[in-house]
Amino acid sequence: MTVRLIPAGTVTVDLEDVTLDLACYDYLIRWTGNRVQVAKLNGYLEATYAANPGLARLGLVLPRGTVISMPQMTISTEIKTVRLWS
């Protein structure tokens, strides 16, 4: 099992048509480099909303110049083995 730390940081929206989930995805890809691992990560979007009170009031598409605080998260690459027969 490998445990990896995604550090906290900030992201500034500098493109048009950026949603929060896209900003989170880009940030996580930058640290992990693995699309599959990012796709399996749960709770990061919710943690980002919790770290940025009032962010939801900006709407689905974030305005350019919006600064987002990205939270720290620990991820694990544990592989779960399922046994069909004992």
Domain boundaries, the chain: 3-76
DSSP secondary structure of the chain: --EEEE--EEEE--SSSEEHHHHHHHHHHHHH--HHHHHT--SHHHHHHHHSTTGGGG-SEEPTT-EEEEPPEEEE-PPPP--S--
Tell me what pLDDT residue 82 has. 79
Q: Read off the pTM.
A: 0.82
Q: Going residue by residue through the chain (86 aa), what tens digit of pLDDT does each one get?
A: 577 889 999 999 999 999 999 999 999 999 988 888 888 888 999 999 999 999 999 999 999 999 999 999 987 766 677 788 86
Tell me what pLDDT residue 45 has. 93
Tell me what pLDDT residue 65 has. 95
